[in-house]
Structure 1
Amino acid sequence: MTSPSRRARSVLTRPWVGPLEALTAVFLVVSLPRYLTPNPALSRSVPPADFPPYYPLLVTHIFFGAFALVLQLWPRLRHRHPAVHRGAGRVYAVAVLVASPCVLAIAPFGSWGPSEWVSVAMLGMQWPATTIAGYRTARLRRLAEHREWMIRSVALSFSIVADRFWGMLCVAVFAPDVPDAAALPGMPGHREFAQAMSISVWLSWTVNLLFAEWWILRTRSRKPTCSGSAHRGESAAVGTR
């Protein structure tokens, strides 16, 4: 059990954890219901007529990605319930490895053009790569490296949440006079709207990853490197047995 003083230190050193958990919960409550029906018209994406698997792949990606997010809403599991944390880590890895190929398959059919496609493809490759690296280092008991790879993986997982913020900001900055209807191909202002949204897609994961690298460098020297009880406290997010 985590002591009150330790919980207080955790809040002080990671003040964004609580707000981030709340933001993610709100995002899931608001965004997921529209994908609970088989009607693509309710989604934020326009399925292309020439690729029927697009919408099923999109829904699979969204739900497995959402499941990965839910598993990261309780970071305190690592210290309080190591066995549960390891099990959740295994499920997280499976969710990422299912969701990422789906997004790679639909990337060329996005609505915002080649720049978005490249960004989504890069995200779709880095997300499983960091997760696999996190799994391998956990299995090898290289727990300091495991922690760093999983920070990167989780930062990429949260790109979908960040994209909503960056999307609103980019539209306000780069296409302030463009109506919402411009999101549809062929409508007046669609080009400007697409450019703004393409920028937001890049920002959604690059800023997260830059922050993750900054946090890793800032906290690297604080983490124990010896074996024993210190490693058990930092037990792996992905199965170690």
Structure 2
Amino acid sequence: MNTFLKTASKVTMIILVAFIILGYVVVQYGFVGAEFAGLVKVKLSKPDFHYSPWIYVLYAHIVTGCIALFIGLVQLLRKQQKERSQLHRRLGKIYVLSILLSGIFNLYLTIFASGGWVSQVGFLSLDALWIYATLTAVNRIRNKQVEAHQQWMIRSYALTFAGVTLRIWLPLLMIPFEFETAYPMVAWLAWVPNWLIAEWVIRRRAIKVKRQTIASTSIVK
């Protein structure tokens, strides 16, 4: 019972954080206006910055990223089945397509990333690993490697969640630092801890499966 409550509380927290960020994105960029967002304000303060077409690419990146964030959450929280359902396959295809598109858009945005080359390398690394993890997950399921598919999807979603952690880290870091100092740090903090947590989750799952296998073998004997 305690294990169930702990798991339920963790899941609830993840859902709340994801939906808070999604709500912020919808309100800020959909109703208030992108030009009033903190990041865009910094961009507009630079005389050599061109608002268009950057803003349209940003919108495309945000929309596709939010689709991936929502679908990935649904996929992870759905009860696992031995046989993949038609819905799971369709949602998975939309998830992968959203990431590929969002990743392509992010390549353009990275060129204009604030914070110089440190930020650019950070976001390029995120982009490359994000697409690699997602396509590797697709490759594993095509080869009927279900466990490996699930592991790579955990990695993929950890990087998808970088859009959420970025918006958590940035305001926190801007308490002691200026934006130009904080943003290069965020370019790495947004996803590196996520990846490490994903590896911890995967390792923990593997140990749990191994223990269950050993216990089942002992019972049979």
Flag the structure with higher helix content.
Answer: 2
Mark the CA change 1:27 to 1:50 in structure 2 (over 3 Å): closer, same or farther.
closer
- Which residue of structure 2 lines up, in the alignment, with residue 65 of structure 1? 65
Q: Which one-letter code corresponds to 2:98 in the other structure?
A: A
Does the alignment pair 1:215 with 2:219? no
Alignment equivalent of 2:93, drawn from 86, 90, 102: 90
Residue type of the alignment partner of 1:121: L
Contact 2:115–2:180 under 8 Å retained in 1: yes
Identical columns (%):
26
Task: Please state if 1:32 is matched with 2:32.
Answer: no
1:20 pairs, out of 2, 14, 21, with 14
User: 2:181 aligns to what?
Assistant: 195
From the superposition, tell whether residues 105 and 73 of structure 1 become closer, same or farther in structure 2 (CA, over 3 Å): same
- 1:187 is aligned to none
What's the offset of the Cα at 1:14? Answer: 6.5
Flag structure 1 segments of 5+ consecutive residues without an equivalent. 176-191, 225-241
Whether contact under 8 Å (1:68, 1:157) holds in the other structure is: yes
Counterpart amino acid of residue 208 in structure 1 = N
Higher relative contact order (CA 8 A, sep 6+): 1
Kept in 2, the 8 Å contact 1:112–1:198? The answer is yes
What letter matches 2:203 in structure 1? L
Structure 2 letter corresponding to 1:79:
Q
Q: What is the number of equivalent residue pairs in this alignment? A: 201
Give 1:217 deviation, angstroms.
1.2
Equivalent residue for 2:216? none
Q: Contact 1:155–1:208 at 8 Å: present in 2 too?
A: yes
Post-superposition offset of 1:78: 4.2
User: What is the TM-score normalised by the length of structure 2?
Assistant: 0.81
Q: Distance in 2 between matches of 1:223 and 1:200?
A: 35
- Structure 1 stretches of at least 4 aligned residues deviating more than 4 Å after TM superposition: 8-11, 37-40
Q: 1:132, CA displacement in angstroms?
A: 0.4
Distance 1:138 1:144 in 2: 9
5+ residue gaps, structure 2, are 211-221
1:54-96 deviations in Å (ceiling 9; x for gaps)? 1111110100000001112322324378332222111100100
* C-alpha spacing 1:40/1:30, structure 2 compared with 1 (3 Å): closer
Match of 2:219 in 1: none
